[in-house]
């Protein structure tokens, strides 16, 4: 019997700028954007940790660290401790825009530009070094993997990672951002780039109303549960060995504005994650959860084939669009 398909659930764990760059009267938002508490109950990180514990899931939380230059070590360090204490994996997420709040002249001056793509080598290396230093302080170790903010990436990112000896990356999701370089237009699997093993977020295709077959990246907030289930079953039949899923803590609530003034649980997204985890747990001969940290030594030396043109029937698109439309527009749905 072939080994189970590895499902890697990844959570980009970050705070929100809260519209502060566009409106100086606004301030960045910390706990409400990550813990997402409603009437004393956490619907963000706590909901994720509780769900993973219930269904025996190991996941990777990609932690954004240079928010330190606005908030200091807290509150993200406490959130990281909560994740580690729950037995979950932590890796590094990089959103350079937070360095705009730095006041230390030795560190330098940075714009509100949030992209890791298109930067010079030395500037990007400094950004990654600053992020890694904070990550080490919060976790007690160096990261095994890095994910760039908004999945903005170019070849320079891998050159910097290679020189910093970070062996794994998860920087690509073609439905979110399509890199200019053809060699970075990866759909799945594991591919070595400049001595760094890229493990992309799974990308598939479905036909839209115009007859086109656009790319779609596997995300909790935008993919229905029937769609995810179909993808997992088809991938298993095709012998695909690993699928990476992307989500964020704030996807499990609805917010009234960028300041998170009023929030309520997002029951649709919570149900999607719960059903995904339950499915993996109940079909453990065919599927297993797999995080970056536990598997780093194997993954960094073991490429897997890319899987282009993985298509699903168009009726899943129609169901997903209808469900997301209702959920986005009805506060208490």
Q: Is the pLDDT of residue 22 over 90?
A: yes
| pLDDT 10s digits, 187-215 | 999 999 999 999 999 999 987 766 677 89
Percentages of the chain per state (helix, strand, coil), in multiples of 5 = 40, 20, 45
DSSP 3-state of 217: strand
The answer to pTM > 0.85 is yes
Which residue did the predictor score with more confidence, 325 or 222? Answer: 222
Q: Is the pLDDT of residue 300 over 80?
A: yes
Residue 231 is classified by DSSP as H
Q: Is the pLDDT of residue 25 over 80?
A: yes
Q: Is the pLDDT of residue 180 over 80?
A: yes
Q: Which domains does the chain have, with CATH numbers?
A: 5-329 (3.20.20.370)
Residue (of 85, 35, 9) closest to 274 by Cα position:
9
Q: Which residue has the tokens 């399509």?
A: 178
Backbone angles phi, psi at 224, to 5 degrees: -70, 160
Mean of the per-residue pLDDT values of the chain:
96
């Amino acid at each position: 019997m072939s080994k189970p398909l590895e499902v890697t659930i990844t959570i980009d764990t970050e705070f929100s700028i809260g519209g502060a760059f566009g409106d100086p009267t606004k301030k960045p938002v910390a706990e409400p954007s990550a813990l997402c508490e409603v009437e004393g109950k956490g619907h963000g990180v706590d909901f994720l940790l509780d769900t993973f514990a219930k269904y025996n899931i190991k996941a990777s939380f990609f932690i954004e660290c240079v928010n330190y230059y606005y908030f200091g070590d807290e509150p993200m360090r406490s959130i990281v401790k909560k994740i580690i204490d729950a037995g979950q994996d932590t890796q590094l997420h990089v959103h350079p825009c937070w360095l705009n709040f730095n006041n230390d002249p030795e560190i330098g001056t940075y714009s509100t530009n949030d992209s890791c793509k298109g930067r010079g080598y030395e500037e990007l290396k400094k950004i990654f070094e600053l992020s890694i230093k904070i990550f080490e302080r919060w976790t007690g170790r160096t990261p095994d993997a890095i994910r760039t903010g908004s999945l903005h990436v170019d070849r320079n990112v891998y050159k910097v990672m290679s020189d910093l000896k970070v062996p794994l990356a998860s920087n690509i999701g073609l439905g979110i951002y399509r890199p200019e370089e053809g060699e970075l237009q990866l759909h799945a699997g594991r591919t070595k780039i400049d001595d760094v093993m890229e493990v992309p977020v799974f990308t598939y295709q479905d036909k839209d109303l115009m007859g086109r077959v656009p790319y779609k990246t596997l995300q909790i907030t935008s993919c229905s549960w029937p769609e995810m289930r179909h993808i997992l079953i088809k991938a298993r039949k095709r012998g695909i060995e690993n699928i990476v899923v992307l989500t964020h803590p704030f996807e499990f609530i609805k917010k009234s504005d960028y300041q998170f003034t009023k929030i309520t649980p997002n029951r649709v997204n919570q149900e999607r994650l719960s059903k995904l985890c339950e499915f993996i747990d109940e079909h453990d001969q065919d599927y297993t959860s797999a995080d970056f940290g536990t598997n780093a030594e194997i993954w960094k030396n073991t490429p897997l084939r890319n899987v282009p043109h993985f298509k699903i029937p168009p009726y899943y698109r129609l169901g997903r669009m209808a469900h997301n439309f209702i959920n986005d527009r009805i506060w208490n749905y």
